[in-house]
Structure 1
Amino acid sequence: MFHRNCIETVDRSFRDLMQTDRSFGGKFIVLAGDFRQILPVVPGGSRAQILSACVKVSPLYRECRFLCLTENMRFAALRADPAADVEALNFPEFLLSVGESRLQGEQCPEWISLPQSVAFEHTIRNLCVKVFQEIRDNHADPAWLTKRVILTTMNRPLEEVNEVIGNMIPGPYRTYLSADKVENEDTNAVIYPTEMLNNLTAGSALPDHKLKLKKVFIVMLLRNLDPTSGHVNGARYGIEKMTNNLLFLRVTTGSHEGNRLCLPRMPCGPGDDNFPIPGFTRTQFPIRTCFAITTNKAQGQSFGGRIGLDLRDHCFSHGQLYVALSRTTHPSNVTILTREFDAKTRNVVYPEVLQ
């Protein structure tokens, strides 16, 4: 969900353009959203700071007219399936209970039991095999690969999960190394040696120093290049061809599916004002393998195939569990990785934002 500053900036811009004090310059604006989903990200922010960044706190929110949807179209096919069992038919209502914190644990309200309609695994390899079990027969089909994903709550497990799935795909790897540098290299070379720079990461904004790719991998773009053609941060691609200095990619999802991108290495910054090394730049392909992505990145997307949820690290922010569980169209497509003998997980909901 976007920060309230975004909509307030648009409001001020329209007022200036139209030379009026009316909201949005008197223009009709359509907004869509679900407050059960993940709220705006405030790095290091407290609960109060996250809530104050929500559009609900903006004075503009009181001027909105509300139209509420009543049917979950993602599960329309499930309701029309005569073979669907009762537990599967109740899954949409279970999701609403999760999103609105109506489902609470016995001892601690935040710790809830996961539904028996989903499958459970206790090792990361078993989870990958369950979600991508026909990958050797379908690894050359980008549409098949794109419909499957493993979601994590944090960035930390992504490299491990992507490596496990990458090893399941036939063919050799091609490795691309970045060129890392800092400002005033002559004076900072001793303070910041190359080995140290190569190990730096910055969440999802900075590509890895070492990219290990195969021709059929699904990758995600990490920066906006050409919005009109769909080449934006978060877009997913299949790799069609690799050379020493160029990657030839093809969009695999959305309204821009099929569009191609010839991608060179680019200078990338950490995108964080608090990054410990000033003037750090990494020249690398601005992509990341995305057989596994974070729940935050998955918001707004649907996956028609199987999905896996890595809940070894429990959810820690509002709406994460709701978003993760609602990315698929059928509960039987969900497999959850939990700690052994643990079928409970944390569901964080801020009731204030739902009122």
Structure 2
Amino acid sequence: MQDMKDNKQLFGGSVVLIGGDWKQLTPVVPKGNPEAVIDASIKKWDEYDHCKQIELKKNMRVNEDEIDFIQELKHIGNGDTEGYSNYIKGTDYIKVDEENIAKNALDLMNFCYEPQWLAEPEKYAKELCGSAILCPTNTVVKRLNQKVLNNLSGRQQKTFFARNTPLGDQPLNALTDNETEYSIEAMEKIETAGMPPHELNLKNGAIVMLIKNISVNTGLCNGTRMQITEIFDDCIKCKVLSGSRSDNSDEIFLPRCKFEYGGTPSEPGIHFSRCQFPVKLSFAMSINKSQGQTLQKVGIYLRQGECFSHGQLYTAMSRVRTKKSIKIVTAVLDTNNVKNVVWKQLLD
């Protein structure tokens, strides 16, 4: 902007509005410790002193009559161990109210996705899209997505395997048999947040998320939730359920797309491309992926891994409009305690 405006001031002298919430999630730093993550924050930017901070005070997502819930979210987001009675003294754990506890994954699934919805997913598409099970890690997300998919009754599952192609100087046909077998296996195992799995399981009626910008101008963006309506060998037909096109009941055809992995410090190992449908199952998603979304029901599953980074619990709990719309499976059976990670350096 300095070059465009021929002005050496910051941003070429333009006023730039930057929005965010310090209580929510931090930048992702691969294998970074808390200090590295905090150092990646905009607060560590050399020019941050030039920013004027304007605080927004009203929560526009939560219903206005949910006064106690609004205050509870503030306490959780700020890590307010003194002012919030649900904090367990001397720890960073919070006691969750009994009404918000689910005993196990099945209870959580039945809360978020009522059996009638799964029996008639096309009829209850909006309800299915308005719910999500949130987890700290993608490994658990994948497992729970398959559990819900299995409960879409009377529908045949179709499995699509990606075509993975190594990139770089040495093609597969130049490798030895052992090297080739290792390379193929390594490519198939790699899954990232921005890449579809090598083995993609789908059913008609399943809720999926678009993970690639197909057409930003027409609302087909990364993060758009859709429902599978028909499955072909070379494409899938989907009904758009979120975003700017959701009111029109639009249906689109999605072909396989190419994704690239490797070649950067954050993506170590083999450099390859993957050709696969640009979707992932979206009954469950990572807490990071849920940021920015408004949902009708949220299940938070912590039995196979607690929140481990700043703002995860706050982000997960603040996706809904009412407190009764949340159920949590805690890390330890028969306890109501959940870990709340807050790095005060980001809030000061």
Which category describes the TM-score, using the shorter chain as reference length?
Answer: 0.7 to 0.9
Amino acid in structure 2 at the alignment position of 1:242: I
- The answer to whether residue 139 in structure 2 is matched with residue 151 in structure 1 is no
Aligned-partner Cα distance in 1 for 2:324–2:263: 39
Shift of 1:256: 3.5
SS of 2:48's partner is helix
Shift of 1:280: 2.2
- The answer to whether residue 343 in structure 2 is matched with residue 336 in structure 1 is no
Specify which of 293, 311, 316 is matched with residue 308 of structure 2.
316
Shift of 1:114: 1.8
Q: Residue 72 of structure 1 aligns with which residue? A: 59
Amino acid in structure 2 at the alignment position of 1:191: E
- The answer to whether residue 148 in structure 2 is matched with residue 165 in structure 1 is yes
Shift of 1:272: 6.6
Aligned-partner Cα distance in 2 for 1:73–1:333: 16
Q: Residue 121 of structure 2 aligns with which residue? A: 139
Specify which of 285, 299, 304 is matched with residue 291 of structure 2.
299
Q: What per-residue deviation string (whole Å, max 9, x for no partner) do you get for residues 220-271 of structure 1?
A: 1222222222222222122232211011223211223245442211222235
Counterparts of 1:1-355 in structure 2, within 5 Å, are 14-77=1-64, 79=65, 89-103=67-81, 105-118=87-100, 120-133=101-114, 134-136=116-118, 138-140=120-122, 141-170=124-153, 171-183=155-167, 184-188=171-175, 189-193=177-181, 196-197=185-186, 199-257=188-246, 258=248, 259-270=250-261, 273-274=264-265, 275-303=267-295, 305-312=296-303, 313-338=305-330, 339-355=332-348
**TM-score normalised to the size of structure 2?**
0.88
Amino acid in structure 2 at the alignment position of 1:150: I
8 Å Cα contact 1:138-1:144 kept in structure 2: no
Amino acid in structure 2 at the alignment position of 1:214: K
SS of 1:73's partner is coil
**TM-score normalised to the size of structure 1?**
0.86
Q: What per-residue deviation string (whole Å, max 9, x for no partner) do you get for residues 37-89 of structure 1?
A: 00111111122221121112224432233332222121235x1xxxxxxxx53
SS of 1:33's partner is coil
8 Å Cα contact 2:135-2:285 kept in structure 1: yes
Which segment is superposed worse, 289-298 or 263-272?
263-272
SS of 2:346's partner is helix
Shift of 1:319: 0.3
Stretches of structure 2 lacking an aligned partner (at least 5 in a row): none
Which segment is superposed worse, 35-44 or 234-243?
234-243
Distance 1:320 1:168, change over 3 A: same
8 Å Cα contact 2:187-2:270 kept in structure 1: no
What is the root-mean-square deviation of aligned Cα atoms in Å? 2.1
- % of aligned pairs identical? 26
Aligned-partner Cα distance in 1 for 2:52–2:165: 51
Distance 1:107 1:237, change over 3 A: same
Task: Say how many residue pairs are matched.
Answer: 331
SS of 1:212's partner is strand
Amino acid in structure 2 at the alignment position of 1:346: K
Distance 1:44 1:176, change over 3 A: same
Distance 1:158 1:329, change over 3 A: same
Distance 1:271 1:74, change over 3 A: farther
